[in-house]
Structure 1
Amino acid sequence: MRISFTFPEAAAMRRAVLLVVLFLSSLLVAPARAEFDGSELQVSGGVFRDEHGREVVLRGFNVSGTAKLAEHRGLPFASTQDARRSAQAMKELTGANAVRFLLTWAWIEPQRGRIDHTYLDGVTAQLRAFTGLGIRVYLDFHQDLYSRHLFDQDSWYTGDGAPAWAASGYPKESCGLCFHWGQNMKNNNAVTAATYDFWHNRDGVQDSFVDAAGEALRHVKEALPANEFKLVVGVDPLNEPYAGKYDAGQTSQTWERDLLMPFYQRFRAKMDEVGWAAKPAFVEPLVFWNQNVDFFAEPGGLALVPSLGERFVFNAHFYDGKAQSGVLMPGKAADGQYTQAFGTIRDRARALGTTAIVSEFGHPVSGFTSDKTPSVLKAIYQGLDSAAPGARWWSAPRGSVLSGSQWHWDTNYGRHRELMNDNPAKVKTDGDAMNDEHFSAVRLDAAGTPVLTVDRAIVDRVYPRAVAGTTLAFTYEDRAYQSWQQIPLANVRSVVGSAPFAVLVWDSDGGTAPTELHLPQSLRSPLVISSAAASVQGDRLLLRGGPGRQFALVTAPSGGDVAAAEAELGRWFTSW
């Protein structure tokens, strides 16, 4: 490991070069200290901050697995042991520090007014597989197409969410010639009618959901040790909300204002009542608000809601529908392809007075469009990391880093045994076992060992786990698929060579807690050029600097003139 330090003493900071060769094998194999990891997060100043005032970025996956299925009664894993093995693999293979953890109303309240605490015990035990490793969690009350109980045994599609008692009495379901399961949201009369009734609280169905969700949250809080409950960041009240159908004269935006937001306020009040007052609600806008296929797209983004405030988080999803179609985007994703879309998410959160998270994103890892997966995932992570494409980052790098959870992490992938819609003649074993999807970033090999289904270079990334102050700019070039970063500084370009690299610029608060970057497998023995003192602990780069603006470049040692590169970086840094 080579680390180059510069020290913040006026102009000398730009010129001083101290190249230190450190042989710290014991440090590299020892477990990383986690003395700052157990603090609770809150939204403050448009970002997540921990108890030490550090700006925190959440990165990880949706823990879904069988949570959307009946196979293991709505739990993500077959057992708590499987959950622990999966959590450990996620941490080791990707450096994730947070997960979105699914649970489902149908399994919480299978009979009206009766809460299944055995199911909630299972949820809590599997959730603790992650909090026990210091991985933060935010809960998601999940639904797709309202409920699996709307669908006939021989249907092409299925859903999840509401229990059977809340999905009875609706017309026979049929989506007609639907080519994607999501079309059921608009075309299936059973789905649209049941969804409409939920938002209008027919027969008190929404009341029942809010009360059941409250009991689930109460159970989780009481079952978790206090130090692990601190690692629970918040809760998503309902996955991918949609009106079903609109009232006369109603638009998608007025529906958000008049029906969706009041539901979120009710849910927020229930959170406060059951001991979750310190946790934000991760609220989603209308599901189609940022869809890039015109056939599906509808205005939304909570545009008519004047403010959310810091007790809420603006919670968006992003999937490239054109790329998934295989026709509307015939080629691969390109540099900067999604920066505008993620810029819109940043702008909406800012306008609503809070921070943003992209709680779902991804692309199929198998199937006829999976050749696009490396480029699409790379471009999505680029959009999360920075508001500028790689070709322009060095000249216009400013932009916040977005938190996000990739869809998804399923160690059952390809090994399911799901009776689709309870039909013993339709046993689903392939992929996600849900509407023919193939999204899991992980599977088990023949020996039962978790292995990635995607290039590790794309999902095991440098990202700022915690910044002591305020992030001004960040970028990471993973070198997977192709290189999009254009380094204009000749000596820096020579030092970096073809290695992965990251650059962080931040305003340091000079506090006692360090700025932390996750180091992927490819950069565990890094070359660091920084204005802050740097050290490595396992998969963490720790940066400690005094008050004021700081920078750090992280790459692999590959040659070149480090002193000259450092001087170039100093000149670039002072041009801000």
Structure 2
Amino acid sequence: MRASSIRFLSVAVAAAMAAAGAAAVTATEARADITVSPDRVFRDAAGREITLRGFNVSGSTKLYENGLLPFRSTADAAKSAQAMRDLTGANAVRFLISWEGVQPAPDRIDYAYLDRAVAQIRAFTDRGIRVLLDYHQDLYSSHLFNSGSWYTGDGAPKWVIDAGGYPKESCGICIMWGQNMQTNTAVRKAAYDFWRNRVLTTPAGAIGVQDAYLSQTKATMAYLKQKLPQPAFENIVGLDPFNEPFDGGLDGKSGLDWEKTYLMPFYQRVRTAMDQAGWTAKPTFAEPLVFWNTGFFEQGGMTTVGQLGARMVFNTHYYDGARMTLDPSAASDGTYDAAMNEIRQRATDLGTAPLVSEFGNKMSDDRTPWMVRAMYQAMDYGVAGKSWWNAPASGGTVLSALQWHWDVYNGRHHELMNGNPGKVQTEGDGWNDEDHSVVSTDEAGSVALRLDRRVLDRLYPSAVNGETLAFAFEDLARSGYGGAGQQKAWLTVPTSMPQLASLVQDRQYGILVWRSAGTNAPTELHLPNSFAPAGTAVVSDMGTLGGVPASGPIAATAETGSATAKRLQITAPDNGVHFALVVNTATGARPTDAQLAAARTALATWLGQKFPTS
């Protein structure tokens, strides 16, 4: 770093802020638990606004070869967690478990299964990665399907299906496995029974099927609270109690009626179970009817259930149903703004924070790199990049999001589909011909990304001291796999700001505008691997840097649990409005102090115009 890199900051102020920032890091990292604040965002114990970014681990939980857990061993979980932290800077995962794994018999909880889950969860929490516990199901249960079926499911244990006496399953003419939810009578009847708490006759006596589910869920939560060390338990953000709920039959009513009559009472029962299990401070991550916001079958969305409030999170998935089936077009700048803004607005209407707990696309689609890029763009800000600089406040909340998915066994499975030794699944995700994993394990045993790192390893505001007013990131990710395809900037600076436009031309960059809460807790942004501290410029109202030091009011420090991943920490001196432009200057001519100062002046003028009441 050049001696003249830090400008506009006195030595005395810098030293005082550095000391305060160092103390704050220790204090804020002491507790990791988060809650939903009255302003409908996630906040940590220090009051900072938290953005969760990461992946689902993983679809391997659907497979018997993995013992119905994401990983075959704790060592695999640790290797995966480390790679995720190092390669992407992820700070959260959705950790899948299975009802069948927890309760293999109506009168038995498999605590050995839960012990394995605890060990795998700790592989993530020990590295500072927060965990959303997800009870996963698809098509209700694998035990509804026969050995020769085209499809399979996961979720409910065999004893539930045996007691239900369901008809022989058949999807009919199904293009995608999800159609089973609408056309497979066995799948629909089983789901119908669950939502109506049908009383089943089991070897342990008569029991309501939903009652049994809630009983084992409560047992799981209580056991995890007991077995996890307190710091690890604080890193559990909450419970997603039912993946992708589908109705099984509307009885002539609408999806909105079904959500109000059956789904919300279930979530309220879950909320009670969480309180009884000692999870009172953790939110219920409540998903709407699965068909909402997919492009097809637009039912549900929780518009008639009343306010969720701070004890529940609006937890939705997003997949581009049109492009996954009939639409051959590629994604581009602003493609998913409308979809993500609908999620933002629905959470606001429900009085809570939003989470996109699944999104992505299959790796066999040559459009996927920019589809995923466009999804991240819309979750960062909900306006096209070409318009953002003119209307930054319209971008909306930075959405927390967990991509589907992270499977270190991708392409190396050996799953007997529906127990059939003649149908061994080895390719892709090993389940219903899906191939969504962004990673695989190479011949050397290392976890390797399958998607452009610039799509996945992103600048994002992981912790903001105060309120985020605007955020945007230009990743410059290529349109193809393995560095192939075109490179095109989407977040373009208007010609009316030439000093800024010349600085970011053909470079990755991001900008954060926030109103500080005035405490010592630092604002933090994950720095992608391509943003080496020595080659990163920061242009802020607090000063400019032509390289980021390891200490001070603006500093690059190690991400918790990683020796290679970095975060940018900014300790603001007051409770005013601040901005920080972060530019990857590793390519092109190194910017001069005069260029950085000119960009700072331009940004200060822009800030006054776009946030005049700040």
**TM-score normalised per structure 1:** 0.93
Q: 1:497: how far off?
A: 2.1
> Structure 1: which amino acid aligns with 2:474?
E
Q: What residue is the counterpart of 1:527 in the other structure? A: 537
Question: Matches of 1:95 and 1:255 in 2, distance apart?
Answer: 39
Aligned residues: 546
Residue 417 in structure 1 maps to residue 411 in structure 2: no
Report the secondary structure of 1:331's partner residue.
coil
CA distance in 2, matches of 1:227, 1:7: 39
Q: Which residue is equivalent to 1:403? A: 400
The reply on whether 1:553 has 2:548 as its aligned counterpart is: no
Letter in structure 1 aligned against 2:298 = E
Distance 1:391 1:427 in 2: 48
Give the distance between the partners of 1:41 and 1:335, measured in 2 at CA.
32
Is the contact between residue 63 and residue 99 of structure 1 (CA under 8 Å) also seen in structure 2? yes
Alpha-carbon deviations, 1:119-156, whole Å to 9, x = none? 00011110000001110001000000000000000000
Query: Which of 62, 67, 71 is 2:65 aligned to?
Result: 71
Equivalent residue for 1:214, pick from 214, 218, 221: 218
Give the deviation of 1:573 after TM superposition. Answer: 1.0
Structure 1 residues without counterparts, runs of 5 or longer: 9-15, 21-31
* Residue of structure 1 in register with 2:176 after alignment: 180
- Displacement of 1:35 in angstroms is 5.3
The residue number in structure 2 matching 1:540 is 567
The answer as to whether partners of 1:158 and 1:420 remain within 8 angstroms in 2 is yes
2:597 alignment counterpart: 563
Amino acid at match of 2:376: Y
Read off the aligned partner of 1:411 and give its amino acid letter.
Answer: V
Where do residues 22-37 of structure 1 align in structure 2 (5 Å cutoff)?
36-37=28-29
Q: Deviations over 1:224-253 (max 9, x none)?
A: 0011100100010100001011113x2110
Distance 2:447 2:80 in 1: 7
Shift of 1:39: 2.6
2:334 alignment partner in structure 1: 336
Matched, 1:464 2:461: yes
Aligned counterparts of 2:470 and 2:443: Cα–Cα separation in 1: 43
Secondary structure of 1:52's counterpart equals coil
Q: 2:511 matched to 1:508?
A: no
How far has the Cα of 1:570 moved from its partner?
Answer: 1.0
Describe how 1:43-192 pairs up with structure 2 within 5 A: 43-44=36-37, 45-168=39-162, 169-192=165-188
The equivalent position to 2:272 in structure 1, one of 269, 273, 281, is 269
The residue matched to 1:193 in structure 2 has which SS?
Answer: helix
- 1:484 equivalent to 2:484? Answer no
Residue 387 in structure 1 maps to residue 382 in structure 2: yes
User: Deviation string for 1:166-195 (max 9, x for gaps)?
Assistant: 113100000011010000000001000000
Alignment of 1:188-337 (within 5 A): 188-203=184-199, 204-248=208-252, 250-293=253-296, 297-325=297-325, 328-337=326-335
Going from structure 1 to structure 2, the CA distance change for 1:537 and 1:321 (only over 3 Å counts) comes to: same
Q: Distance in 1 between matches of 2:178 and 2:7?
A: 53
Paired with 2:8 and 2:258, the residues of 1 have a C-alpha distance of 55
Alpha-carbon separation, structure 1, partners of 2:239 and 2:579: 34
Cα displacement (A) at 1:298: 2.8
**SS of structure 2 residue aligned to 1:316:** strand
Aligned mates of 1:434, 1:483 — CA distance in 2:
36
Q: Given the alignment of the two structures, is residue 428 of structure 1 paired with residue 425 of structure 2, yes or no?
A: yes
* Aligned mates of 2:243, 2:59 — CA distance in 1: 16
What is the letter of the counterpart of residue 330 of structure 1?
P
The 1-side partners of 2:295 and 2:334 are apart by 15
RMSD of Structure 2 on Structure 1 (CA): 1.6
* 2:571 partner amino acid: R
Structure 1 residue 33: Cα displacement: 6.6
Partner of 1:354: 352
Shift of 1:388: 1.2
Change (3 A) 1:5 1:351: farther
Instruction: Look up the equivalent residue of 1:36 and give its one-letter code.
Output: T
Is contact 2:468-2:514 (8 Å) kept? yes
Kept after mapping to 2: 8 A contact 1:5/1:531: no
Partner SS for 2:367: helix
The secondary structure found in structure 2 opposite 1:521 is coil
1:289-342 per-position Cα deviation (integer Å, ceiling 9, x unaligned): 11113xxx13211010110000000001000112222xx321210111111111
Question: Does the C-alpha gap of structure 1 residues 496 and 34 become closer, same or farther in structure 2, counting only changes over 3 Å?
Answer: farther
Distance in 1, Cα, partners of 2:604 & 2:309: 38
1:25-82 alpha-carbon deviations (Å, 9 max, x no partner) = xxxxxxx976523331010020000111100000000011421111121011110001
Moved over 2 A (4+): 1-8, 32-39, 557-560
Query: What whole-Å deviation, never above 9, does each CA across 1:383-430 have from its counterpart, x for those lacking one?
Result: 110121101101111221010000001101111110100111111010
Deviation at 1:4, TM superposition (A): 6.0
Deviations 1:455-483 (A, max 9, x none): 00000000001000000110011001221
- Please, what TM-score do these two structures have when normalized by structure 2? 0.87
Q: CA deviation at 1:501?
A: 0.3
C-alpha distance in structure 2 between counterparts of 1:288 and 1:381, whole Å: 21
Check the 8 A contact 2:25/2:522 in 1, yes or no.
Answer: no
Q: Would the aligned equivalents of 1:391 and 1:485 in 2 still touch at CA under 8 Å?
A: yes
